[in-house]
Chain A
Amino acid sequence: MGELAAFTILALVTLIPAVVVVTSKNIVRSALSLIPTFLGVTGIYIMLSAEFVAGIQVLIYAGAITVLILFVIMLTEGGSGVRVRQVNEQVPLGATAAVWLGFLILLVIFRTPWPAAPAAQPQYSAATIGNAFLTDYVLVFEATSLVLLVSLIGAIIIARREA
């Protein structure tokens, strides 16, 4: 009962601001609405007893990525006023993608034989995650860091050219 209530509240906290993100005419409001969405997802991580991921979610997404987005918007010319307006010209395309994704998720839900057998909860701790990163998934981990490095260098090159 409590779990269902918590899930419902978290789902609403995640979904309502998510709608605001895509419908708001004001780009800063869109960016700020990302924060409750991320925090709602954090709550769901906690319900799944993945505390470490939840902490990282707040630190990286709510605390850093959103701030970066806001920062970029405000440094853009004309982005700093309160009366910034934006229009979304890709509604049909986005709607199509969303409908397909929803269809796929529904398909998975109805094809799965419920109740699925409960799997044993994985041994969870920060140390386990660290070990997994540096043993089984080391290639993926390093590739990800390479992508980040490339994007960092790319950003610097783009900024240099304009200066």
Chain B
Amino acid sequence: MDWLIEILKAIGLALVVFTYLAVVGAMLGVYMERKISGWIQARLGPKHVGPQGLLQTIADTVKLLQKEHITPRNADAAIFNTAPIIVAVAGLLDWIVIPFGKLGDRVLVVRDLNIGVLYFAAMASLTVVGILAGGWSSNNKYALLGGLRSASQMISYEIPLALGILWVAMVTGTLSTVGIVEAQVGSGSWAVLDWFVFQWFPFGFIAFLIFLVAATAEVNRVPFDLPEAESELVAGYFAEYTGMRFALFQLGEYAEAFAMAALATIMFLGGWLEPGLPAILWLFLAIGAVAAAAFIMFSGARQSLVVRPILILSLITAAVGVIMFFGVNAGRSPVLPSPVWFLVKMFALVFFLMWMRWTYPRLRLDQLLGFSWKALLPVGLVNLLITALYMLVRR
């Protein structure tokens, strides 16, 4: 009966992960996207449904659930209806190997596979199948063009993505996500320097950049959002989808984007580890945040539209700085619970992705592919080679 319990456990955990993704990934993700795009474009973003528009996405989801499913008459119905499920499930499967933190001695991860990051790359590569199937079966030239662009883009950018992952695997000697985080545990008051983004500077940083750029391209976000370029392809591969199927594509896309941010956090930013800094620096951080808030309040910047989110952010930073200052002085480690740090880092990266999206225009297809093959790939390979040489010499 062991396997029966295992299956029940798997179903339960799948429900937990799916709920997390639907709520945090899709709903909060869409809300953040709309709010941040609003601020960047000097608008307010959603404002009326719930406090500060927080319930807007829930209202949208309810609306989408009620919409009619339309299958175009000339579409290939079976493939057309399966495609959104492939995208959503591939996004869901990514999260199995993502550790969220530690509760006592137990790592909060669905399953710590010994091929963790390889599994992640494999599941991420399945998304493109759903996109291509959806684009083709719609029997619509815009959808097909979107699907084809997505396929060429994802095939090209999977290689730099793998090079970024490979760098970490080579340095740690393990593929397990938990093992990778544990390899970044530092000691002393500057423990933060043992994160791979700082370790072996600048090689770790270069690998981090390569991974981040390739991840942005893998999840089809601006400046790499050619598959769904609104101004030329309507909506790209999901132009024909309605209601909940459309929402499933969105869910898969946000799940994937959040998963990429989570993996970047785990591989380069120390996962759930607390940034180990000397206590005095935390105090400086708090003072700096308060000073920035004061400057905004007592200068002309008060009139600007985005003053409130910046004030809230600096208040939170000041509070964290003070807590960490006293916590580190009291010799507690970690001061804040580890899942908090994981989520903070992940959301910082998600914010970074959104910031990119609303700041830069999209590239042309040939520029995009050329950038992958002529810039990212050679730099990644050379980075890998030099790091390997360095490891060999140091040993």
Contacts and interface: CB of A to CB of B under 8 A. Distances in A.
A71 B148 contact: yes
Contacts, number: 91
B377 to A, nearest CB: 14
Contacts of B126: 58, 62-63
20 contacts: A6-B3, A29-B79, A52-B118, A55-B121, A58-B125, A59-B121, A62-B129, A63-B125, A63-B126, A67-B125, A68-B155, A70-B129, A70-B151, A71-B155, A80-B144, A82-B74, A82-B139, A126-B115, A126-B169, A126-B175
Given A67-B128, A70-B151, A80-B144, A55 B136 contact: no
Contact of B114 (A74, A75, A81, A125): A125
Contact of A59 (B122, B152, B173): B122
Nearest to B72: A82
Interface string A20-41: 0000001011001001000000
Interface of A: 1-2, 5-6, 26, 28-29, 32, 35, 51-52, 54-56, 58-59, 62-64, 66-68, 70-71, 74-75, 80-82, 125-127
Contact of B79 (A2, A32, A80, A81): A32
Nearest to B175: A126
Contact of B136 (A52, A56, A58, A74): A74
Interface residues of B, number: 35
Given A29-B79, A67-B132, A56 B152 contact: no
Contact of A55 (B119, B133, B148, B158): B119
Contact of A67 (B114, B122, B123, B151): B151
Interface string B261-291: 0000000000000000000000000000000
A51, A54, A67, A74: most-surrounded residue (chain B CB, <10 A): A67
B68 interface: no
A79 B119 CA distance: 32
Interface string B169-183: 100010100000000
Interface in B1-24: 2-4
B155 A67 contact: yes
A63 B128 contact: yes
Given A2-B3, A63-B128, A70-B151, A55 B76 contact: no
B75 interface: yes
Nearest to A5: B3
A71 B151 contact: yes
B373 to A, nearest CB: 13
A2 B175 CA distance: 28
Contact of B148 (A59, A68, A74): A74
B2 A2 contact: yes
